[in-house]
Amino acid sequence: MPMDSKDRKIGKNKTYLSSFEFAITGLKTAYLEEKNIRVHLAAAVIAITAGVIFQLNLSEWRWLLLAIFLVIAMEMINTTFENVVDLVTDCHFHPIAKKVKDMAAGIVLLTAFFAVIVGITIFGPKLWHWVTLLLK
């Protein structure tokens, strides 16, 4: 995707506001162009809703939000690696490019496993308690 002429500047951003605007543009781009980001955000909404329903304590909220932010951040890093590799290789196969892409995807997978463990640790006992109350 070609850059707008206003984006073709060399050097550092002139202000913190311009840096912030570029960061917001990056978040919007990730959301609009990357299906996996939208999937992770949907899962985050579900997890946060469950957290409200189960009235998580402060420590549980910290772990849950850490897991959510890590998964989304790692997905954005993975997407960044994929885009840079595609740019450098002109979208042609190269074994090192494949290795880089695979390892970046592995980072997301590891982080997702961490998020699942956090979710089971937080919600498992609460769900078990709820189920046992229903079965009585």
- Cα distances (angstroms) measured from residue 86 to each of 26, 106, 118: 18, 18, 33
Tokens at 107, concatenated: 């980072």
Which single residue is written with the structure tokens 């079965």? 135
> What count of other Cβ atoms lies within 10 Å of the Cβ of residue 25?
11
Answer yes or no: are the C-beta atoms of 77 and 107 closer than 8 Å. yes
Check 33, 34, 60, 75 and give the catalytic one.
Answer: 75
Q: Which residue type sits at 55?
A: Q
State how far Cα 43 lies from the chain centre.
10
How far is residue 19's CA from residue 61's CA, in Å, rounded to a whole number? Answer: 29
75 is catalytic: yes
Kindly list the catalytic residues.
75
